[in-house]
């Protein structure tokens, strides 16, 4: 995803290259090349020299920081929106397929997924 697209998504202002490719989000200490991270408050400024992220979300631009920056009114909220965008929770169907075989002597829990052609034996 291009940094310009991320800026539109979080209503941010870019300080740096708008065509920068961002492939993921991570915390400031865990971020790698291709990731975007965020700085909320001054607590993690000491971690910036070691930050390997490709871009950082900030409330106000840091002019002595060589990384591209995305200015957002609330960096924490912008980061949370990006987490939702990059890491969509996979859909897990619940229920028992009518094409599954389940023994009358098997015990099935709540909110399970039993797919077609599954075999649940006695005592399971």
Query: Do 65 and 49 belong together in one domain?
Result: yes
Q: What confidence score (pLDDT) does residue 12 get? A: 97
Query: Do 82 and 100 belong together in one domain?
Result: no
Q: Looking at residue 41, which CATH number applies to its domain?
A: 3.40.1390.10
**Which range of residues forms the domain containing residue 22?**
3-86
Q: What confidence score (pLDDT) does residue 24 get? A: 96
d(Cα 21, Cα 34) in Å, to the nearest integer?
7
Query: Do 81 and 100 belong together in one domain?
Result: no
Query: Do 107 and 68 belong together in one domain?
Result: no
pLDDT, one tens digit per residue, over 79-106 is 999 999 998 777 778 889 999 999 999 9
pLDDT, one tens digit per residue, over 23-76 is 999 999 999 999 999 998 777 788 888 899 999 999 999 988 889 999 999 999
Confidence of residue 77 (pLDDT cuts 50, 70, 90): very high
Residue 54 in tokens: 């490709």
Query: Do 45 and 7 belong together in one domain?
Result: yes
The total of other beta-carbon atoms located within 10 Å of residue 82's CB is 22
């Amino acid at each position: 995803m291009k940094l310009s697209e991320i800026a539109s998504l979080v209503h941010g202002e870019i300080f740096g290259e708008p065509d920068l490719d961002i492939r993921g989000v991570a915390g400031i200490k865990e971020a790698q090349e291709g990731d975007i991270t965020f700085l909320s408050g001054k607590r993690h400024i000491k971690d910036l020299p070691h930050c390997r992220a490709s871009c950082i979300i900030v409330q106000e631009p840091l002019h002595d920081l060589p990384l591209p920056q995305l200015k957002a009114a609330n960096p924490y909220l912008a980061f949370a929106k990006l987490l939702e965008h990059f890491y969509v929770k996979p859909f897990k169907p619940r229920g028992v397929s009518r094409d599954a075989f389940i023994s009358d002597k098997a015990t099935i829990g709540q909110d399970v997924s039993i797919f077609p052609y599954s075999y649940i034996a006695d005592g399971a």
